[in-house]
Structure 1
């Protein structure tokens, strides 16, 4: 939706131009008008205007002065000057600045419409695909570290990616690693922070630790370092040259010890590291879980230890593989939250079903079953707190089933309950959306009825219901089946008919009573809608 602002101090010309563009019905173009440069500038400051069609010679602020204000503060706004032959010398200099065009008043309606269409096309060219892609690439380069972190988070959450996809993503994000070669993982944390440090200062120190490790990194190692979360846990993915694999673990041990000592000496930071052995990329999720577990076990014992984890020995531990699978599924809980928050029903139910069945298939111990139950229940409760759910009180059966693990006879029964509850949540949300749409339409209709003499532009109506004007226009059409601008016009004409039938009010006052400042424009619009002039209609009702 683009907005055109027509500016002219002569009422007859202004009315004619407004009617011209209403009759032209250019798609997705909202018509606004102003009778002076100052009024136009106020409108531009209040709402986004895309094209200004303005006279040059006006009392107070001229069209050229208005252009200077627009160029300074709204450089994307296109300006088209309506000029006479005597004005061209003023326009010629302005034309060199770009973003401006002109049309002679004597050229006729078709040329005026064509000039505005040219401005519309120019706006489209400004948003062309090639430029957008170029700007997106520039922005992407600035956000590469964040995107690298996001990719690592997906990998440690067990998100499957093919070698080909990984290779493409590594190239795209300047990651100096190869998906067809084994990799080592190092998890690092600061054992204790100075309590006076701000989050920004902690982030800076985390980057400093990464820089220290990079300084000590052997030339034969390629590395990606990321800071994972708000606790400033650090993760390194390290890949040695293929002919150096045999000595990697010892070289890695030396690297961690050197980094530890330097961080303690220069940054006063006590660090702990947990490092894996050689692994395939498909093992990232399970390995990260094991490293996290070891970090938790060693937390709080006051040791700044660097240790290597023997993958083969861990696999031999009783229940290790089952526990790894469950922990991996639990870390994917962030996907459940994202799917629910973004109302992705099929993805949410699929992810929830996988999680619940994993607990059943592995015969998880009671603590893990309780953890899963309370995580899912809390997720549902958080979602419910953001939408109408008045019929669930503390004593309702549904609330008890949602919050009491002991009321479920088996894990299978609990799983069926959660999946059924998810169905109900999405059904209720759809109904809430529909009800909200109907409520917005009713609110808009009521506002129009009560404010026929006021500003009823899409911009103003959007502010009434706190929605973008273009979105409001689409929503209103989708819900009611009628165009919002058409409804405003019909209601204004219906009110005008009522006034003409029941009073002897002057036509110019009738126009003002239905929000149309120009009597001549009102008369033309009324005749177009009824095939009668206002006076003819009044006489036909006597």
Structure 2
């Protein structure tokens, strides 16, 4: 529904309520930070559009023009502060009209202003997502090296999260997002891969191999090995040596 603008000095109660609602959005801008930090462009845009579902007539006339400037300055300060704290001005500004960030007269109207800051937030979120993915790949390589080296030790999500200085839920999400599998699944795959090598190239007993790949329980190791390969460790060893398994 369009908001009608009454004569100067005689605002309708509806217009006053709408003005108050729009002003209240500036206290919710901080909610957008988490979406940008997490690289969630879709989540950012969804919340941003809900906050600024405002019709152009609200900013008509002299009083509307000053209200528009007030909100512009809040948005400008919010995004400038965010980018300055994280040193993103140069990274985000390349190919983007950064002068519109602090010059309201470069915007044709309120809708263009809203679209501009919305696209800026999406740009920031996309950039953070790329950086997290690149950083995530580095972390995963580091974690995989640790697993290979200390496979015989007790391994847990909490230990690896501490190792890379992230919270367990966040590290788990990043790991699965990049690799397409859970951390425990990778650890078990690594255990089976090493166990196969040991079964083929050594005469170590099954319980010794189980311990060497980080599983103290030989029965559990045998169940896991059969689940992953379709054969018991002994059957695998016999077949790798060309023996007939009856």
Instruction: With the length of structure 1 as denominator, give the TM-score of the two structures.
Output: 0.33
Tell me the secondary structure at the aligned position of residue 97 of structure 2: helix
Deviations 1:293-335 (A, max 9, x none): xxxxxxxxxxxxxxxxxxxxxx99x536389568623233213
Q: After superposition, give the CA deviation of every residue in 1:459-499 in whole Å (9 maximum; x if it has no partner).
A: 43444453336x76676556544343332222111012223
Pairing 1:500-539 to 2, within 5 Å after superposition: 500-503=199-202, 505=204, 507-519=206-218, 521-523=220-222, 525-527=224-226, 529-530=228-229, 531-534=231-234, 537=237
Question: Alignment length, in residue pairs?
Answer: 223
Which of 28, 31, 42 is the equivalent residue of 1:338?
Answer: 31
Shift of 1:361: 2.4
Aligned CA distance change for structure 1 residues 359 and 444 (closer, same or farther; 3 Å): farther
Change (3 A) 1:463 1:538: farther
Q: CA deviation at 1:450?
A: 3.3
Paired position in structure 2 for 1:468: 168
CA distance in 1 between counterparts of 2:47 and 2:236 reads 63
Distance 1:501 1:344 in 2: 53
**How far is the alpha carbon of 1:535 from its aligned partner?**
8.2
State the Cα RMSD in Å: 4.4
Which of the residues 156, 176, 179 maps onto 1:457?
A: 156
Match for residue 108 of structure 2 among 410, 428, 437: 410
**CA offsets, 1:339-398, max 9 Å, x none?**
55464532322433518x3663244476554432221112223444576846236x8753
Q: 2: distance between equivalents of 1:388 and 1:449?
A: 36
Q: Distance in 2 between matches of 1:504 and 1:325?
A: 81
**CA displacement, residues 54-106 of structure 1 (integer Å, 9 cap, x when unaligned):** xxxxxxxxxxxxxxxxxxxxxxxxxxxxxxxxxxxxxxxxxxxxxxxxxxxxx
Q: In the alignment, is the contact (CA less than 8 A) between 2:226 and 2:232 conserved in 1?
A: yes
Counterpart Cα distance in 2 of 1:392 and 1:491: 40
Q: What are the within-5 Å matches in structure 2 for residues 46-61 of structure 1?
A: none
1:128-527 to 2 correspondence within 5 Å? 318-319=8-9, 321=11, 328=20, 329-339=22-32, 341=34, 343-354=43-54, 357=56, 360-364=59-63, 368-384=67-83, 389=88, 391-392=91-92, 398-406=97-105, 408=106, 410-412=108-110, 413-428=112-127, 444-465=143-164, 466-468=166-168, 476=175, 480-503=179-202, 505=204, 507-519=206-218, 521-523=220-222, 525-527=224-226
Gap regions ≥5 residues in structure 2: 1-5, 36-42
Q: CA deviation at 1:451?
A: 2.5
- Which has the larger helix fraction? 2
Rate the CA distance shift 1:370–1:461 in 2: closer, same or farther, 3 A: same
DSSP 3-state at the match of 1:391 = helix
**Whose strand proportion is higher, 1 or 2?**
1
Name structure 1 gaps, 5 residues minimum.
1-314
Residue aligned with 1:354, SS: coil
* Mapped contact 1:340–1:348 kept (Cα < 8 A): no
Q: Would the aligned equivalents of 1:496 and 1:514 in 2 still touch at CA under 8 Å?
A: yes
Cα-to-partner distance string for 1:240-267 (whole Å, 9 max, x where unaligned)? xxxxxxxxxxxxxxxxxxxxxxxxxxxx
Change (3 A) 1:463 1:541: farther
Distance in 2 between residues matched to 1:520 and 1:418, nearest whole Å: 60
Tell me which residue corresponds to 1:248: none
- In 2, Cα distance between equivalents of 1:410 and 1:462: 48
From the superposition, tell whether residues 324 and 521 of structure 1 become closer, same or farther in structure 2 (CA, over 3 Å).
closer
403 and 488 in structure 1: CA distance in 2 versus 1, 3 angstrom threshold: same
Please name the residue that 1:251 is paired with: none
Distance 2:234 2:225 in 1: 7
Contact 1:352-1:419 within 8 A present in 2 as well: no
Distance 1:341 1:476 in 2: 19
Bigger CA radius of gyration: 1
